[in-house]
Structure 1
């Protein structure tokens, strides 16, 4: 039984190093908070597979949708100052906000924060056509005038990145600052996030390179042709931070708005509002409800508040256990290896359960074999694992289908078809892989 932090850290370093060595991912960074203090930060793997530069304590990662928690914090700061009313309509602050049906006039700030506005989600972030000027957000808000709501405002949860671009624009208009400037002055700097920024050009020197799934030179990460940056989508996506800064950010929230230096970025009463479940999400126990910008749930009997992030070439996860003084931040410079098994292994270790290893993705293990040697070889490998070794992997049907879709999107149609053929064999009772396979076979 491990009874010291040093022993736990040694255990985590061993299983994390082993995981990155054998999983098909370029790099990983981990930050751990225990007893409301930074316990451990470490990087593994590489920032860039071409240069081989290692991930270290200074490496910044695109945090993707974790950025939304900073937006929520900013909105609540302005609520406390009397500059924003959560239940006021969006048009109170943005008179040019218009949509195609009249229901848009009913949308409130609160509904944007908790994803119950009825707003659709964005399907083109224009990462390949980025905007860099201060008017990017306003232009984006104006550009959605032809879109319609999916349902009545306040009716039900539906995750929408568009909502957070609108919130970012509200922050800018209410304060007279750019969104990024407000974040820097009132959240990033007071939280002690020394290297963090919402501006890509300020992060470039230490920024990890995004990787997407490739098979041309062997199965694994290839450098993305685009970087996920666009000031029109800054609020929903573009916080850049390293593991240590994310720990500092987590500590401020664990302390309900108080920094270790005694500053206050938000009152404890605002956390009562942010961390109160507003609606059910259907996302499972860990994020079963939505608060104001944070997901609320439970992990092995402990209350958690969290947010995850994924954009082209990056994934991230921030989890707080507010009643224990524990937080975990994990981030990777690829968008195809899911982080669930990583953060759960870390949480288990912090809670006194010490997994012998971090479970790897069966989907990626068998996909690698399928793309190299075919379905029969992958099926034989799976049968061998069933006899000995399957416990080292997690089995998630959705990941097989998602991986096939990624292969297809990268132009590897035949590999995608072979992987779906394997998935149908592995999950014969499921209609999802079968339907997707039929769809690809019938497409010209």
Structure 2
């Protein structure tokens, strides 16, 4: 018998659609008010796409959890969470789950700085040293040229972060773009001097409270112990939470997706800043290189930097954007001022930016050159797929689909190097060494590959092999004097003499113990402990003074268990020794 389909009356059709929408809200956990504010079938379709696609992306990219907000007409039209706060506990994400914002800290700080500009308390083009001298760099007279505008547009000449206690200027201030967190640290000190307040107190007063951001702070709060998501590495291993006790304008903000969306909508709506100041914030100050990690690359025609925020323009379509990356938390924000629309998302994973293009395109359906500029591996990239299969299959099986006819990996040298280091960092030393050995076979003339393989051997306790490969790296690249120094240290037969002695008892199973501190520019591979009986010993010749340090045991940086003297510096606790 042929089935007969009866068309429902119009009222019944509307009722059916309403019931389907209600059921979808029940099963996704989405608030009804967020949908009611949007209106229109287009928004409902977007929500359905997000609810269908994001769980698939989390699975494909091995991301434990994600929070997202969509902005329409200058308001948060939709917010949702997916996945879990911790892969171990399986506790579900919540709307008020707190994430590390990483470099998304910078735009909020910039916004607060521009309020000081509006008040006449900060001049964007006045050298910062006139507000506050900076002893860390006063040996270089060029620092007296650095202004707030240069810091906010990343043209100060500072590196992103100093590798040691010695800050340097890499080029003439104002000359070109080079992303720098150090510049923000200096500007933070200036702002604290101007306002007479600690950074978090100042921004709470000027930004968090007025904009309604109750779950945001540049320092750790007790309520974050239960609200905060757990960080995860690229293999979904949970990591310890970073709990900053000192604010860092460039990186220490903790926040939620709705809170950060309140900030973005304030920028879109011109809240809190004079019209001309907001316009300056969103006006290109400098074009950036087409490749973020290659300063010599041609300048991009589509991506630039404003005051504290990235900018992109495609065929007259202007947007502002920024990304955040603290290794185990990665996030992204983008908004179009003309249409007052945008997207904000946070993840608790090293893999969080592998899905950036897919998510942003879902919301905007537009070309995103800024995502190309930051250049993170998409989750469909061969290197990404290889890395994700290693824990399940092992290195040998995981690499097979990506071997060329000569049986060498068809994956770029730098990608293989990165995968090897991520494995080493996650404690999988044998697997990391195996990946780096494959890279060595594929790129036998690369000094960097030998240096990396030597490091893996070092972590694996193979000091002689490590020394040989460090020497090979030095031979291929004589500028790499550090490799020669490490090789010489490794081949030294005895504990060197010195007036400062460091001892570590126990840790009989450790393969490598080193010393890093202010006396060696925090280089973990300059001074090595030697095992003597049931303890490890290291001696140095130090001039009289006070030094901070940590002991590095098989790659883990720890306080000296035999020294109760501890000091907190820039939010980090270090052991302290005084040499008389």
Mark yes or no: TM-score above 0.5. Answer: yes
Asked if 1:244 corresponds to 2:258, the answer is yes
- 1:164/1:225 CA distance change after superposition, 3 Å: same
Between the two structures, name the one with larger relative contact order (CA 8 Å, sep ≥ 6).
Answer: 1
Match of 1:183 in 2: 203
Asked if 1:25 corresponds to 2:38, the answer is no
8 Å contact 1:367–1:419 — kept in the other structure? no
- 1:329/1:361 CA distance change after superposition, 3 Å: farther
Asked if 1:224 corresponds to 2:239, the answer is yes
Match of 1:107 in 2: 146
1:319-356 Cα offsets, whole Å, 9 max, x none, are 1122222211111112x21415x332233233358xxx
8 Å contact 1:67–1:238 — kept in the other structure? yes
Question: In 2, distance between residues paired with 1:416 and 1:287?
Answer: 37
Once the 2 structures are TM-superposed, how far is the Cα of residue 380 of structure 1 from its aligned partner? Answer: 4.0
1:284-313 Cα offsets, whole Å, 9 max, x none, are 569722211111123686322111111142
Report SS of the residue matched to 2:210.
Answer: coil
Asked if 1:351 corresponds to 2:351, the answer is no
- 1:410/1:346 CA distance change after superposition, 3 Å: closer
Q: Which of 93, 102, 116 does residue 55 from structure 1 map onto?
A: 93
- 1:254/1:432 CA distance change after superposition, 3 Å: farther
8 Å contact 2:436–2:453 — kept in the other structure? no
After superposition, where does 1:64-83 map in structure 2 within 5 Å?
64-83=102-121
Match of 2:220 in 1: 200
After superposition, where does 1:286-325 map in structure 2 within 5 Å?
288-298=303-313, 302-325=317-340
8 Å contact 1:228–1:311 — kept in the other structure? no
8 Å contact 1:227–1:312 — kept in the other structure? no
Range with bigger deviation, 177-186 or 431-440: 431-440
Question: In 2, distance between residues paired with 1:92 and 1:228?
Answer: 33
Once the 2 structures are TM-superposed, how far is the Cα of residue 359 of structure 1 from its aligned partner? Answer: 5.4
8 Å contact 2:285–2:306 — kept in the other structure? yes
- 1:432/1:50 CA distance change after superposition, 3 Å: farther
After superposition, where does 1:384-423 map in structure 2 within 5 Å?
399-420=415-436
Question: In 2, distance between residues paired with 1:191 and 1:81?
Answer: 18
> Where does the alignment leave 5 or more consecutive residues of structure 2 unmatched?
1-39, 292-299, 367-377, 404-410, 456-465, 467-580
Report SS of the residue matched to 1:182.
Answer: helix
Q: Which of 268, 271, 274 does residue 254 from structure 1 map onto?
A: 268
C-alpha RMSD of matched pairs (Å): 3.1
Which has the higher Rg, Structure 1 or Structure 2? 2
Report SS of the residue matched to 1:201.
Answer: coil
- 1:98/1:375 CA distance change after superposition, 3 Å: closer
Range with bigger deviation, 414-423 or 268-277: 414-423
Match of 2:398 in 1: 378
Match of 2:276 in 1: 269
Range with bigger deviation, 396-405 or 71-80: 396-405
Question: In 1, distance between residues paired with 2:251 and 2:107?
Answer: 10
Q: Which of 212, 215, 218 does residue 233 from structure 2 map onto?
A: 212
Q: Please give the TM-score of this superposition, normalised by the length of structure 1.
A: 0.79
Q: Which of 103, 118, 121 does residue 157 from structure 2 map onto?
A: 118
> Where does the alignment leave 5 or more consecutive residues of structure 1 unmatched?
126-143, 214-219, 259-264, 384-394
Report SS of the residue matched to 2:178.
Answer: coil
After superposition, where does 1:32-43 map in structure 2 within 5 Å?
32-43=70-81
Question: In 2, distance between residues paired with 1:321 and 1:399?
Answer: 33
